Structure formats: structure tokens, C-alpha cells
Copies of this chain bind each other. A is one copy, B any other.
Amino acid sequence: MAGPAGLRRSAFTQRLTRYMPLTPGERDAIERLERRERRVAAGTRVITEGAENNALYIVQHGWLHSATSLKSGSRQITGFHYAGDLVGISSIAWSIAAATLTTIEDCILFEIAKEELGRVFAAQPRLAGLLYAIAAAEGVAANDRLTSVGRMGADTRLATLLLDMLARLRASAGGVIDSFELPLTQTDIGDAAGLTKVHVNRTLRSMEERGWIERHGKRLRIKDERKLSGEVGFVDRYSEVATDWLPPPPNVPQGVLETA
């Protein structure tokens, strides 16, 4: 139950703090959400499409993806989730899961019952607003993905996918990185980008030849992120979120805001 020594900082708190300083009350509220820890091995289905589900999860560590499958047998990966993300939000709208949530690596999750989130909305309106803003940002990111799949060729599409991963890893890990371990098969990548595994292979290869990326085993390096972002029109939606419109937090004595 206890993690590897004392490095159990809440990734979720850390993420939210990126966007605005939290009051002690808000930190407390989040901490209370993180009581049910689940360690899940790579490749496990945490939520199954079509099955009953009334829980949400905070990702403390590891990667996951959500996917829906079609009658034709094919599959669409609709999103990847990283440390600090709140996932399974669709269970807020329905008791039957709309997508399958699968761990890509070994993960540490915190399970949250819907009602607990309800209590946060009641007690911490400013936090609720921030969650809403983050949901809005994710909606825009989803639209970016739609645009990429609907209107771009294979190479641009894969480039935006990789740039998006880089940006999100940065948002959760923090710090500057230009390469990362890609724990996905080319089939997975294809299911996310709307391409065949064969075509993913050829396209990655040609991206490498053109000098966009470098690959060594599972490790992937974006050679010139700024230039590539410009060329394919990628915009990082996670680097910041407006918080100026949020209501003031309840009962804040002056000067207790922490900046993390």
C-alpha cells in the first residue's frame, strides 16, 4: 500500500498547481480523493466498454489509453492518459462505460466514487471550476485530434500525435524533454491515428529518413520540436489554462496560498 518510500507526491495536485496555487482546503479535498490506491499491471482493462462503471480514476503513475471498438472489429484509441490526469470522466454522465480504459504500463491509480466528486463540487467551487476548465481544454485537444485525423495526411497526422504525447508528458512530468519511451506497438499507434499498422510503419520510416524523428528501440526523439510543430500546425493545449474567471476559494485567510 505504501509506495516506494516518501516520493508519494500527488501527481494530480502537482498538475493542478501548474495552473493555479491551491488553498490548504483544496489540497485537503484532493487528498481525500486519493485514499483508494490501486496498482495495476500493464495491459489490464480498468474499465470495460459497455460494462457498468461508477468510478473515476486519478492517474498517479503510468500511461493508459481509452479506446472504443467497432462492429467491424477495428478499434479507435481516443486518447492517452498520463500522470496527473483524471480519467473515466464519462462515468460521470452514464453508469455504462462508453470506452475501454487499458493500462499501457504498470500504473498507480486512485479510484474515486462519483459521489466523492460531487462533494468536492459542493465544498470547493473554485476547484470545480478548474476541473471544468481542464475538461474544456481536453475537449479542444480532442477537436485537434479530430482535425488531424479528418484533414491531414499520414505523416502530419503521426507528427501531431507524437507532438501531443510530448506536450502531455511534459505537462505531467514537468521539465524539458525532447524524447520519451513509446510503450506502444505500431498497431496501437495506427489505432490512435486512424491508420493501418503497415502504413504507420512506412510513414514512421519516412519521417525518420526526412529527419523529423529518431528511433532507438522504443525510445523516440523529436529532432526539432519547434520547427516540426510549426510545419504541422501543432498547438500545445496543456501548457496553461485560464483561471482568472474562477470564484474565490471559500474562507481564505490572507496569504496562505501556496505556490507549490
B-binding residues in A (CB < 8 A): 54, 66, 68, 70-72, 74-76, 78-79, 89-90, 92-95, 98-99, 113-115, 117-119, 121-122, 125-126, 128-129, 131-140, 142-147, 149-152, 193-194, 233, 235, 237, 240-242, 244-248
| A66, A79, A150, A244: most-surrounded residue (chain B CB, <10 A) | A150
B76 contacts A151, C-beta separation under 8 Å: yes
Contact of A140 among B90, B121, B125 (CB under 8 A): B90
Chain B hits for A194, CB < 8 A: 149-151
B70 contacts A152, C-beta separation under 8 Å: yes
15 A–B contact pairs at CB < 8 A? A68-B144, A76-B146, A76-B151, A78-B143, A78-B147, A90-B140, A93-B242, A94-B242, A98-B235, A99-B143, A117-B245, A118-B247, A135-B135, A139-B142, A150-B193
Contact of A139 among B89, B244, B246 (CB under 8 A): B89
B147 contacts A145, C-beta separation under 8 Å: no
Chain B hits for A76, CB < 8 A: 143, 146-147, 150-151
Chain B hits for A242, CB < 8 A: 92-95, 114
B118 contacts A128, C-beta separation under 8 Å: no
Contact of A245 among B68, B74, B92 (CB under 8 A): B92
Q: Closest residue to A142 on the B side, CB-wise?
A: B142
> Contacts A128-B132, A136-B89 given: A115-B245 contact, CB under 8 Å?
yes
Chain B hits for A98, CB < 8 A: 140, 143, 235, 237
Chain B hits for A115, CB < 8 A: 245
**Whole-angstrom CA separation of A11 from B233 in the bound complex:** 37
Minimum C-beta distance from A65 to chain B (A) = 12
Chain B hits for A152, CB < 8 A: 70
A121 contacts B246, C-beta separation under 8 Å: yes
> Contacts A137-B93, A149-B149 given: A132-B121 contact, CB under 8 Å?
yes
Chain B hits for A129, CB < 8 A: 117-118, 121, 128
Chain B hits for A99, CB < 8 A: 140, 143
